[in-house]
Amino acid sequence: MNKINPIQDTYFAAVGDVHGEMYLMLAILDKIQSKLNKSISFVLQVGDFEPHRNYADVMTMDAPSKYKKLGEFHHFYTKNYQFPYPIYFIGGNHEPYGFLDRLPPKVTEIASNCYYLGRVGCLELAGLKIVGVSGIYKAKLFDNRPPISQINSRSNSDYIGFTYKEINQAIDYQKTDILLLHEWANNIVAEKDQEILSQYLPRRKYEEIGNEYASYLIEILQPRLVLCGHMHFPYRNSLSFPDGNSCHICCLANVTKGREAMAIFHLSSQGKITEIPIH
């Protein structure tokens, strides 16, 4: 079910934080498809997707009350609308974990053409091995996260972090083609770019960039492509591994920023992944 075979050349998209704005995401992707005159085979989404089925789901999301909105996913859940291509997403720090954590621990179709990878998930698409880890680094949750059965008596923020067990589970998947993370890794900003980022981002946000466990995953899994969201800021870099291979780092903005939230990749019949300019 989760396999798309490479027929010839394949194009796929990566999308940053959606925050429930499904129609905006689809409209931007649609414009890009028309401009490039290419069809997207699948979409990889890096968390803060906000797939709320109802208000009860919204109430299990960690966010200030002004951001607790139902959004548009429920139109897709109730089958009034359908995603035109498969969308695969991980969880961010603003998700209805009261819904997502009660799903079986595997890649799960939560609406037609819409798949949640779980807290840690691995799938194969077009011959690419894709690993995703949901959540962000939170020191107090890293050793243990309370069971979801306790969410009503807990703060929703007790569910937004990944645990060391989940990092180890991701490591067990070994060599990976694409790694999906919500929060950036702490070593992905090139020295030459640090000043620009520190000017553009609020000081507190800049100081909080990235976590060491994401860096560790990149080092161990040696992906060819890493996709991140969370900062609502687009950034690209390339990292080199000791064996001479390199990794394309692609951090995406949120969908209200239009194309800055998107990236399109060409997968050649030989399996080479290249980002296509869309701006």
Nearer to Zn ion, 11 or 99 (CB): 99
Closer of 31 and 205 to Zn ion (Cβ): 205
CB of 224 to Zn ion, least distance (A): 25
Which spans in 48-137 are helix H? 55-58, 73-77, 97-100
- Residue closer to Zn ion by CB (options 17, 95) is 17
User: Which residue of this chain has its Cβ atom nearest to Zn ion in the complex?
Assistant: 17
Are 161 and 137 in contact, with CB atoms under 8 Å apart? yes
Rank residues 93 and 222 by Cβ distance to Zn ion and give the closer one. Answer: 93
For residue 18, the minimal CB distance to Zn ion (Å) is 8
Shortest spacing between CB 232 and Zn ion, in angstroms: 6
How many CB atoms sit inside 10 A of residue 139's CB? 8
Q: What is the side-by-side order of every strand in the sheet holding 87-89? A: 108-111, 114-116, 87-89, 42-45, 10-15, 262-267, 273-276
Angle in degrees, CA 64, 68, 73, rounded to 5: 145
Smallest gap from residue 253 Cβ to Zn ion (A)? 9
Which of these ranges, 11-19, 138-146, 204-212, 215-223, lies near Zn ion under the rule CB under 5 A?
11-19
Q: Which stretch binds Zn ion (CB under 5 A): 13-21, 105-113, 174-182, 209-217?
A: 13-21
- Closest-CA residue to 226 (of 271, 189, 191, 269): 189
Q: What is the DSSP letter of 211?
A: B
Nearer to Zn ion, 22 or 125 (CB): 22
- Report, in angstroms and rounded to the nearest whole number, the Rg of the chain calculated over CA atoms: 18
- Least Å distance, CB 255 to Zn ion, is 10
Cβ proximity to Zn ion, 128 vs 231, nearer residue: 231
The interface region with Zn ion, picked from 40-48, 166-174, 179-187, 195-203 by CB under 5 A, is 40-48
Choice between 63 and 125, CB closer to Zn ion:
63
Q: Are 181 and 156 in contact (CB under 8 A)?
A: no
* 95 contacts 61 by C-beta, under 8 angstroms: yes
Task: Compare residues 17 and 21 and give the one whose CB is closer to Zn ion.
Answer: 17
Rounded CA-CA distance 147/159 in Å is 9
Binding to Zn ion (CB under 5 A): which residues in 168-227? none
Identify which range of 48-56, 176-184, 199-207, 210-218 contacts Zn ion by CB under 5 A: 48-56
**Two tokens, residue 256:** 């209200």
Q: Does 17 bind Zn ion (CB under 5 A)?
A: yes
Interface with Zn ion (CB under 5 A), residue from 21, 48, 50, 183: 48
88 — alpha (psi -120 to 50), left (phi > 0) or beta? beta
Q: What Cα–Cα distance (Å) separates residue 65 from each residue in 58, 59, 86?
A: 10, 9, 31
Selected range binding Zn ion among 43-51, 114-122, 168-176, 209-217, rule: CB under 5 A: 43-51
- The contact set with Zn ion (CB under 5 A) reads 17, 48
